[in-house]
């Protein structure tokens, strides 16, 4: 019952904290796509999704206004009421929420997975709440999968429960509590890791199904992320085959083959359907979502932006190095416990770093790099388990 209680506690905390959620531009686009799947026309879906966004925006603006001490003065000018704000939001975005560039819209149109997963909840609860519930439930699932993975690698129930709770309490749980793709993406990433571990431990049928299913659904949700995840797991499988004793067996070869097939498959899909790739992402970054003309040389600009970004990031971490410490200790715990587990987890965690290098936008830094927390979520409980067992072994028994 402990994993269920931890999951329920996370859900209850999301309910308590829901009024603090800011409106999400991306959520408007996912809501529109979900409503189109449910049968609405593009115009109907856009209008319904815009109404959900405007309700959230008005609520957020009024809440933020109430936090400003100057607005509590008796002589403070009265702002427009809730109804006027809501109507103004609808009028200002009558043609759709900015940015409305077809190139920007296509980035979301070719990622239908989250919209498909959200269909049941949106059909019952409506556009805004439905997306949020879908993301939260997938985050709950991700925590349960962390529990199962830690149990599968040999930890006790208490240690596995700590890992599950840490998953919810870390930035993974924060971003998974927003109506965005992070909830499903991270849950499916943990599913891919669980499948990989089963393959490394000769559970070939269950491992193949879990890994292939996670990669397939994940690709539909966010193909760019799962291209990195599949590539990372494939590389980790190769490392295990080369340097980790006891891993040269059918399961590891299947692990390498399935991830290689996923990388090739995503590449073929990208070419066949001209999916937005790295070049388009760079233009999106440097043109303010295509509101300005394309830049001629985005790659040198990316290098300069990275130099500026990581200098600033390292200076920030020097003042508050909790991420570096958590990931470093987590990696230590993983390698001390089992190298066959450590390499896939570390490889998947580093996809967050790769995503940040490819898109070093300061305002989105924590979100883009959230995968690195997987190393800490899985590694720190293992390190704690090792320390606890060592201390227990050192306690002398009764004479």
| Domain contains 315 | yes
Give the sign of the dihedral formed by CA 302, CA 308, CA 314, CA 317: negative
| Domain contains 32 | no
Say what the pLDDT of residue 300 is: 94
Chain segment 306-342, per-residue pLDDT in tens = 999 999 999 999 999 999 999 999 999 999 999 999 9
Q: Is 39 left (phi over 0), alpha (psi -120 to 50) or beta?
A: left
Inter-residue contact 114 to 106 (CB < 8 Å): no
pLDDT greater than 50 at residue 34: yes
Say what the pLDDT of residue 399 is: 45
| Domain contains 52 | no
Across 14-28, 74-88, 231-245, 331-345, least confident range:
74-88
| Domain contains 104 | no
| Domain contains 127 | yes
Confidence tier at 138 by pLDDT (50, 70, 90): very high
pLDDT greater than 90 at residue 78: no
Across 19-23, 69-73, 179-183, 263-267, least confident range:
69-73
Q: Which tokens in the block code for residue 394?
A: 């050192």
Chain segment 285-313, per-residue pLDDT in tens = 999 899 899 999 999 999 999 999 999 99
Domain span holding position 134? 113-393
| Domain contains 163 | yes
Q: What is the mean pLDDT of the chain?
A: 93
Q: Rounded distance, CA 345 to CA 329, Å?
A: 13
| Domain contains 53 | no
Q: Where are the alpha helices (DSSP H) in the chain?
A: 2-17, 25-37, 42-66, 82-92, 102-109, 113-125, 127-152, 157-169, 171-176, 182-200, 204-243, 250-272, 278-286, 298-319, 322-337, 339-358, 365-368, 373-394
Q: Which tokens in the block code for residue 140?
A: 């709950």
Say what the pLDDT of residue 393 is: 61
Q: 99-103, 153-157, 182-186: which has the highest mean pLDDT?
A: 182-186
* Number of domains comprising the chain: 1
| Domain contains 185 | yes
**Dihedral through CA 212, CA 30, CA 98, CA 301, nearest 10?**
-10
* Maximum separation of any 2 CA atoms in the chain, in Å: 82
């Amino acid at each position: 019952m402990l994993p269920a209680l931890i999951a329920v506690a996370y859900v209850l905390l999301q309910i308590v904290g829901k009024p603090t959620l800011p409106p999400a531009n991306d959520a408007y686009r996912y809501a529109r796509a979900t409503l189109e799947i449910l049968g609405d026309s593009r115009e109907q879906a856009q209008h319904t999704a815009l109404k959900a966004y405007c309700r959230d925006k008005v609520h957020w603006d009024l809440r933020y206004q109430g936090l400003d001490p100057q607005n509590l003065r008796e002589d403070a000018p009265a702002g427009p009421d809730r109804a006027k704000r809501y109507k103004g939001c609808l009028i200002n975005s009558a043609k759709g929420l900015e940015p409305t560039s077809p190139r920007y819209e296509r980035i979301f149109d070719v990622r239908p997975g989250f919209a498909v997963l959200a269909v049941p909840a949106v059909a019952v609860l409506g556009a805004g709440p439905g997306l949020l519930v879908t993301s939260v439930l997938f985050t709950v699932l991700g925590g349960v999968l962390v529990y199962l993975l830690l149990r599968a690698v040999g930890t006790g129930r208490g240690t596995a429960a700590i890992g599950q709770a840490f998953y919810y309490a870390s930035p993974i749980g924060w971003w998974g509590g927003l109506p965005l793709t992070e909830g499903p993406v991270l849950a499916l990433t943990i599913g891919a890791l669980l499948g990989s571990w089963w393959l490394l431990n000769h559970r070939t049928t269950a491992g193949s199904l879990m890994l292939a299913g996670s990669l397939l659904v994940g690709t539909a949700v966010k193909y760019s992320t799962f291209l990195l995840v599949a590539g990372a797991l494939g590389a980790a499988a190769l490392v295990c085959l080369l340097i980790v004793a006891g891993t040269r067996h059918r399961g590891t070869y299947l692990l390498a083959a399935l991830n290689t097939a996923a990388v090739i498959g995503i590449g073929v899909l990208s070419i066949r359907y001209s999916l937005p790739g790295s070049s388009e992402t760079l233009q999106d970054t440097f043109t303010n979502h295509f509101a300005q003309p394309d830049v001629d040389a985005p790659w040198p600009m990316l290098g300069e932006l990275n130099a500026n970004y990581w200098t600033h990031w390292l200076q920030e971490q020097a003042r508050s190095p909790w991420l570096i410490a958590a990931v470093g200790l987590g990696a230590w715990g993983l390698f001390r416990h089992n190298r066959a587990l450590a390499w896939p987890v570390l490889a998947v965690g580093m996809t967050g770093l790769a995503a940040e290098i490819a898109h070093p936008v300061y305002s989105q830094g924590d979100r883009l790099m959230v995968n690195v927390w997987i190393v800490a979520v899985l590694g720190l409980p293992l390190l704690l388990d090792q320390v606890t067992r060592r201390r227990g072994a050192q306690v002398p028994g009764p004479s």
